[in-house]
Amino acid sequence: MSGYFRETSPGSTTTTTSTTSAPGVSVGLCEHTFGSVAPARGLAVLAPLGAAAKLFPLGGGVHEITLTCQEDRYNLGDAEWYAGQKLEALAASGVGEVGWQDNHERSVAFSEAMFKSGAAVVEADRFVTLTLVFLAPASSEAAGFWEVVDEPGEYGGRDSDKDYAAGAVSLGTVGDTMTVEVMRQVRMRQIPRCRGARSGIPHSGAVQRLSVTGFLDARTGDHPSRQIETMIRAIGPGKIDLTGNGNTWGGCVLAGIRPELTDRKGVMFTADFERELS
């Protein structure tokens, strides 16, 4: 149960079934990949006052492909690097082919696909789960399953210390988890009066969001609300380096902090950072 995405020539509608690497981005979608396809077609509804409603098919058709990809890595820092580099590569990709296999070694692939969004979370300090969304036209030709891209080895110098910091500002006394998301605008041009759509419409630049969950000790120092306010001021409005577990994400801007204030000894919060990718 593995998968891949490979970029074809920009705007190309030609399906390549050979195992020769095509120009552009080729991304393996983890050792364990499964997903589903949700087709949608345009439909207009005419509901005049005092008359029966009428339905008018508009043609077109788009597949929204949602994949869950899972991989067991070496430690937390390596897992975060692994997820981040896959999302960044997909965010820079154009039109391509996405495919995956099931437990029974049956494979499926869709051509003219475009990456829309993705999110990653690491559990147990090493187990990565990626959720990826692609769009593909319903009229795309049936693509032959290509080949699975080899997964990278351990990215050295990483650890599981959970020592997240924004510049020189520590994100809580004990870091907890970080989620990584990538979003960009992708549109499929639906073709009226026919079954299908066309990919290749220029997409917007991608934005990456990194959300760190941290912990503040409410028993010492200032009131937790004041500590969070001080943290925001110390980080500032400009671009900073977000670091943790041996990784560095440059050019991050603090979007906000979402606290979960309680009357107990600790306060959990989530700090959201965003950075430009393309």
Domain residue extents for the chain? 25-41+59-148+157-276
Residue type for 206, please? A
Using an 8 Å Cβ cutoff, are 261 and 224 in contact? yes
Write down the pLDDT at residue 174: 62
Of the candidates 238, 255, 190, 241, the one whose C-alpha atom is nearest the C-alpha of residue 60 is: 190
Write down the pLDDT at residue 11: 34
Please state the φ and ψ torsions of residue 111, each to the nearest 5 degrees: -90, 170
Write down the pLDDT at residue 19: 32
Using an 8 Å Cβ cutoff, are 91 and 208 in contact? yes
Write down the pLDDT at residue 192: 65
In tens digits, the chain (278 residues) has pLDDT values of 689 999 885 533 333 333 333 457 789 999 899 999 998 877 788 888 888 888 877 766 888 999 999 999 999 999 999 999 999 999 988 889 999 988 888 889 998 899 999 999 999 999 999 999 999 888 656 667 777 778 889 998 999 999 999 999 998 766 678 999 999 888 777 776 566 676 666 566 799 999 999 888 878 788 888 889 999 999 999 999 999 999 999 999 999 999 887 767 778 899 999 999 86
Write down the pLDDT at residue 202: 55
- Spatial separation of the C-alpha atoms in residues 9 and 165, rounded to whole Å: 40
Using an 8 Å Cβ cutoff, are 224 and 218 in contact? yes
Write down the pLDDT at residue 246: 95
> Can you point out the beta strands (E) in the chain?
3-7, 26-28, 32-46, 54-72, 96-101, 107-123, 127-137, 165-166, 169-170, 174-183, 189-190, 197-198, 207-217, 240-244, 247-260, 266-276
